[in-house]
Structure 1
Amino acid sequence: MAYRIVGSQCTSCSACEPQCPNVAIFEKGGVFAIDPAKCTECIGHFDQPQCVAVCPVDGTCVIDNSVPRARAA
């Protein structure tokens, strides 16, 4: 599964964008979003997803259950 950003909770602080090792986070319409095709949940890079780790609003970066789970290479 990839992560997604709950747009209604995103404060557009941009803390997550530079932390993503896969360049999966981008700004769209004043809030940030995650490209599920690029998101690997930070598997192989970090112990926890960096978007979750740096987001100042709990519950904003959440697992997107509509996307298959990422696997380590």
Structure 2
Amino acid sequence: MAQLITEECLGCGICAPECPVQAISRGEVLFEIDPHICNDCVGFGGKPICLKYCPVNAIEESDLKFESKGLMPFGAL
């Protein structure tokens, strides 16, 4: 499941550069986590990293489930 930024978000942006998969970006009102990119930091040592950096605990686990787009073929970038 992807993480979700709640309306408690202050818009400080501290979380965005900490995301190892660049799933966090500035939305129209608040920062947003792209559920198709967020992988809950699998392979990065446990708990999602963004949770650690949000100063107001405005990030929580979403109840929504999204299908993964899968991995890109090697050399696709």
Q: Fold conserved (TM > 0.5)?
A: yes
1:63 — aligned with what? 61
Report the Cα offset of residue 39 of structure 1: 0.4
Matches within 5 A, 1:4-23: 4-6=4-6, 8-23=7-22
TM-score, L = length of structure 2: 0.79
Q: Distance in 2 between matches of 1:50 and 1:30?
A: 22
TM-score of the pair, normalised by structure 1 = 0.83
> Within 2, Cα distance between the matches of 1:56 and 1:14?
10
Aligned CA-pair RMSD:
1.7
Q: How many residues align?
A: 68
Deviation at 1:30, TM superposition (A): 3.6
SS for the counterpart of 1:40 is coil
Provide the secondary structure at the position in 2 that maps to 1:9.
coil
Could you report, residue by residue, the CA deviation over 1:11-70 in whole angstroms, capped at 9, with x for unpaired residues? 011110000011100001241000000001001013211110000012x111111115x8
Kindly name which structure, 1 or 2, has the bigger radius of gyration based on alpha carbons: 2
Deviating 4+ runs (over 6 angstroms): none
CA distance in 2, matches of 1:46, 1:20: 13
Q: Percent of pairs identical after alignment?
A: 34
Which has the larger strand fraction? 1
